[in-house]
Amino acid sequence: MVKTLYICRECGFAFPSELKQLIEDRVQVFCEMCGMPFTLAGVEFKQPSVRRQVPPVKSYSREAIRERNRVKFSKAIKRIDTLAFIPILILSCVLLTTSWIFIDPANWINGLVSNVLISVAGLSIAYYDIKQITPKIKEEKYDELLLDTFCYGILGCIFYGSGVLILVKGILIFIYVAIYSKDKHHKAYNFGLKLKNSLNSFSASAGFIIFLLVLANLFITGINGYSIIAGIEFLIALIGPINEILTIVILIAIIIGISLIPIIILLIDLRKREEIWIKSEFTASDAFKVFILGIFGTAIFSIGIFILLKGILLFLLVAGKPFNWGKELPVIIEEKRELELKQDPLKHVPEELPKEEDDSQPPLIRTGKLEKPEDEISITEIKQEEIVSEEETPEDTTKESLKVTPPIASTITLKDDKKTKIKHDNEQLKLHESLLPVKNDKDKLMVKQYFTKIFTVLSKDIRRILLELDIPQEDKMALLKELAYLAKEEQLKYIESVKQLYKEIPLKLIKRIKKLPNVKSEHYDKIIEQLNFMNVDEQFEFIKFMEQNM
C-alpha cells in the first residue's frame, strides 16, 4: 500500500498524519513551521470551521444592580427637576401682567387684589423650588426633601394645576428615600425623624402661601357669599349712618386681628424650628405644644395644617422611640476606632498638651544658686514678664527675649530654717551662658532666633483678619492670647482652622469642641471632616461621645 506524504512548498515541512487526513478531506491546513497554507494543483480546499468566541455574559452583583438602578432613579428626578417650576412660573407671570384684562369693571378692586395674591403665592412656590429644592437635588440630599417637594406640589396644583410636575417630583423623591435608605438601625424611627425635619423646614413658609391663597379666595367670594367690601357696606347699611365711623373701626379691627393671628402663629413656629430640628428625642409635652399650635393655626384659614401634622408626627415619635435609641452611635464609633487602631497603631496615640497657665498664679522663676540640692524652695509674689511691644526692632526683641524680669520680694525658704530675703527692684538678670544648649556662635544665633519667636507681635494683616472674623468677642480675646505664643506662619494656620470651624459647624458645637480635652487646633479640621458626614443629631451625639471618652 502506497503512503502519501504531503510536503510544504515553502519550507519543506512534512505534514503529520493528523493533518494528512484533513488534506484528503479537502480541508485547508497550514504549515506548522512557516504558517503558509497548503496548496495542491487543481484542488480547492474549504476553510476549516472555527468557533467564534462568545462574549462573556456580564454578571452583576445585587449591590451593583441596586446602585445602577439608584443612579437611573436619581437621573430621572433631576430631569424632572429642570422643568418642574416652569409651568407655575409662567402662569404666575401671565396672571400678574394680564389680570387687568379679565377683571370685572364693577368689582375691579377685589379682582385685582385676588389676582396679585394668587400670583405672589405662585411665585413663592417657584422661588422655593428653585432656591431650596433644586440645590439639594443636585447634591442628592433627598433625605432632606422627603415631604417638601410633595407638599409644595399639592399647593401648586391648587394654583390651576400648574404644580403637577413638582408633585410628581415629590412622589419620586419619597419613593427614592423609602427604597434607598442608608439607615441600618431603627429604620422606622429614623424615617420618622426625616419626616419631622422635612415638615419642620417648610411648615411656616407653606402656611404663609396658604394664607395668601385664602385671602385671594376671600376677596373673590367673601364670607357667606359676600366680598369683604360688600360685607362692610352691608354692615354700614344695617347699623345706620349714625354709627358709620364706629362700624368701620370695628370691622377694620376684626380684619387686622384675623390677619395678625395667623402671622403670629407662623412666627412662633418659625422660632421653634431650630429647637425641633436639633432634637432627636421628644417628650409628650413637646408634641403637645406643637399640636396645640397646629390646632389654632388650622382653625384660622387652615394655615397650620402642616404644623398640626408635625405635632401628630411628634406624638408618633414619642410613642415609637426604641428602648436602646442613642446607644448604637458610641458602639459604632468605638468599633471604627479599634479598626483604625489595628491598621495604624501610631495614628491614634494621644498627644500630651501643655497645661494652660493660670493667670491668677504666675509662672515661677528660679534665681540664685542653691547650696544644697535637697533644700525645698517656696517662692511668692513674682512679677510676670512683659510681652515685647510692636514698635521694637527684631534686634531689640532678641535682646529683650533673653532677659528675665526679676521677681519682687522673692523669698527662699530652706529646710534648716535658713531664710534669705532677696530683693531686686531695678536689676535685670541676663540669661547665663551655661543655660544655652550649645557653645558655638552659629548655634547660639539659632537659639536666640528661637527665643524671639516665643513672643511675637501681631502684624497688621493678622489684626485685620481678626477684626473681620465673625465670632463672639470672648472668643476673639481668647484667640489673641493663644496667638501671642505662635509664629506668624502658625498664626495664619491657626486662624484659618478657626474660620473653618465657625463656618461649617453651629455655634453650640464650636464651644463644646473648643472645650474638649486633649484636642489641639490642628485637629479641628479632622473633627470637621468627620462631622460633615453626619446630620445635626449625629453631630451632637458624636461630640457628646468625645466629651465622655477623651
Q: How far is CA 224 from CA 117, 269, 364, in A?
A: 21, 30, 87
Residue 372 scores a pLDDT above 60? no
Query: Does the global pTM surpass 0.85?
Result: no
50 vs 505: CA distance, rounded Å: 67
413 or 514: which leads in pLDDT = 514
Q: Specify the higher pLDDT residue, 109 or 353.
A: 109
- Residue 106 binned pLDDT confidence (cut-offs 50, 70, 90): low
**479: pLDDT strictly greater than 50:** yes
Tell me the CA end-to-end span of the chain in Å, nearest whole number.
99
Calpha distance 174→195 (Å, rounded): 10
pLDDT tens-place string over residues 52-63: 666 666 666 788
Name residues whose C-beta falls within 8 Å of residue 480's C-beta, 6 or more positions apart in sequence: 458, 466
Overall size of the chain counted in residues: 550
Query: pLDDT over 90 for what percent of the chain?
Result: 17
Backbone angles phi, psi at 504, to 5 degrees: -110, -15
Q: Which pLDDT tens digit goes with each residue over 279-291? A: 888 889 989 999 9
- Least confident residue range of 200-204, 217-221, 407-411, 512-516: 407-411
Consecutive H or E run containing 44: none
Least confident residue range of 98-102, 132-136, 300-304, 433-437: 433-437
Whole-number mean pLDDT of the chain?
A: 72
- Given a cut of 80, whether residue 43 has pLDDT beyond it is no
For the cut 90, the answer to whether the pLDDT of residue 332 exceeds it is no
Residues 6+ apart with CB under 8 A from 349: none
Closest by CA position to 311, among listed 200, 415, 467, 231:
200
Q: In sequence order, which residues have a C-beta less than 8 Å from that of residue 488 and are 6 or more positions away?
A: 456, 459, 462
Mean pLDDT of 235-248: 63
131 DSSP 8-state letter = I
Over the stretch 219-229, which tens digit does the pLDDT of each residue have? 776 544 444 55
pLDDT of residue 449: 64
Residue 18 pLDDT exceeds 60: yes
Res 196 pLDDT > 60: yes
Least confident of 18-22, 207-211, 385-389: 385-389
pLDDT band at 85 (very low <50, low <70, confident <90, very high): very high
pLDDT higher than 50, residue 406 = no
- Contact residues for 4 (Cβ-Cβ < 8 A; gap 6+): 20, 24
pLDDT tier at 361 (50, 70, 90 boundaries)? Answer: very low
Range 381-387 average pLDDT:
38
Across 16-25, 327-336, 525-534, the highest mean pLDDT is recorded for 16-25
Closest of 494, 496, 516 to residue 504, by C-alpha: 496
- Write down the pLDDT at residue 292: 93
Grid coordinates representing 165 are 410636575
Highest-confidence segment of 3-17, 66-80, 311-325, 511-525? 66-80
CA dihedral 296, 298, 304, 305 (to 10 degrees): 140
Lowest mean pLDDT among 117-131, 258-272, 403-417: 403-417
Q: Each residue of 108-164: pLDDT tens digit?
A: 777 788 888 889 999 999 999 999 999 999 988 898 888 999 999 999 998 888 999
The burial class, CB within 10 Å (0-12 / 13-18 / 19+), for 538 is middle
Backbone φ and ψ for 371, nearest 5 degrees, come out as -80, -35
State the pLDDT at residue 355. 43
